[in-house]
Chain A
Amino acid sequence: MQTQKKKYISPEEYLETERKAEFKSEYYNGEMFLPTGASVKHNRISTNLTALLHNQLRHKPCSVFHSDLRVKSEKSEFYTYPDIIVVCGEPKFEEKSHMDTVLNPVIIIEILSEPTKDYDRGQKFEFYRLIPELIDYILVAQDKIHIEHFTKLRENEWLLKEFSGFTDNIQIESIKYLLSVNEIYEKIEFVR
């Protein structure tokens, strides 16, 4: 993530610029940030997850979106493009006239890249926690088999489980789905 400008940008200015821009930027507290480009591994993991979730959700009232749908919590001025989100029921949008900023994901998945991994683990999660509908926050490493899965237990309480085994399964509470680690990393080779 790189800062583009220092002068204060309002959320309205950000959204106006963003809707015309040729590349995506995230927004927080008066500043716009460029997400870093993704790698082949990043893309494969993202495709695997999207396909798995899509298949699982075909006959349920939930949808998977990846990379291009902006997310915001109603309680913050923080706009981001998560790698993958799942919305159940009707998506809620910030503005009905622009159905491009969604407010109610139940699952957010971030695939960790070296420059932004601390940010994803820390500050982003702090903002995502402000989304009342969010139940599962999942961080997927791409340089090794490692998944951090936060599940909301109740207000102000989450459970973090870590997975680093190929045969592990991850229970996704919000959609009652057992996600296999093996399938998330399908076709990914690790240098040992």
Chain B
Amino acid sequence: MQTQEKKYISPEEYLETECKAEFKSEYYNGEMFALAGAGRWHNIICHNIGLSLGNQLKDKPCEIYQNDMRVFIDENAFYTYPDVVVACGEPEFNKDENLVNPILIIEILSPSTEKYDKGAKFYFYRNIKSLKEYILVYQEEFLIEQFIKQSENEWKLKIYNKANMAAELVSIDCQLPVSDIYNKIKIVKG
């Protein structure tokens, strides 16, 4: 994430710019942040997750979106493009076509955005009333962190760090095996 400008940008200005822009930016509190392009492993992991969940969700009333679905969080005037989003039942959009009721968000960690995804983003995501699960997938090691909402202000964190483990996605009743996520991935821990 990189700051483009310092002057205050209104959400309307952001959305107008964003419609015409050739690259995606996220928005928070008067500022726009250009999204870094994703690398080879990031792309493969994202595709693997889409494939695995897409198959399991075929006959369920849930939709899965990858990379290009903008999510809006009212409390923080925050617009973001998660790597993978799932909405169940009727997806709800605000007037500018931003999804407002995701049930599951998955972020694939890039070294440049790792701290932000793990810290600030989850902090904002926790304000989404419909959100039941948040998952972080590391690129440089077999490591998945799964946050499952237990009740208001309470989340359980489960860690998966072995190839024979599988995350139980309770919100959408799916299984996400670690070996599926990392199919074709060469782990190069620097």
Contact = CB atoms under 8 A, between A and B. Distances in A.
Interface of A: 117-123, 129, 150, 153, 156-164
12 contacts: A118-B115, A118-B118, A119-B115, A121-B123, A153-B156, A157-B157, A158-B157, A159-B156, A160-B155, A161-B153, A161-B154, A162-B153
Given A122-B114, A160-B156, A161-B153, 8 more contacts: A118-B116, A119-B119, A121-B123, A122-B115, A123-B114, A129-B159, A159-B150, A160-B157
The 6 closest A-B pairs by CB, nearest first: A122-B118, A118-B119, A121-B119, A118-B115, A156-B159, A158-B157
Contacts of A153: 156
Instruction: Indicate the size class of the contact surface on chain B.
Output: 20 to 34
A163 B158 CA distance: 21
B21 interface: no
B120 interface: yes
A160 B114 contact: no
Interface centre among A122, A153, A158, A159 (most CB of B within 10 A): A122
Nearest to B147: A160
Overall SS of chain B's interface: mixed
Contacts of A121: 118-119, 122-123
A160 B146 CA distance: 12
Interface in B110-138: 114-120, 122-123, 126
B161 interface: yes
B31 to A, nearest CB: 15
B142 interface: no
B160 interface: yes
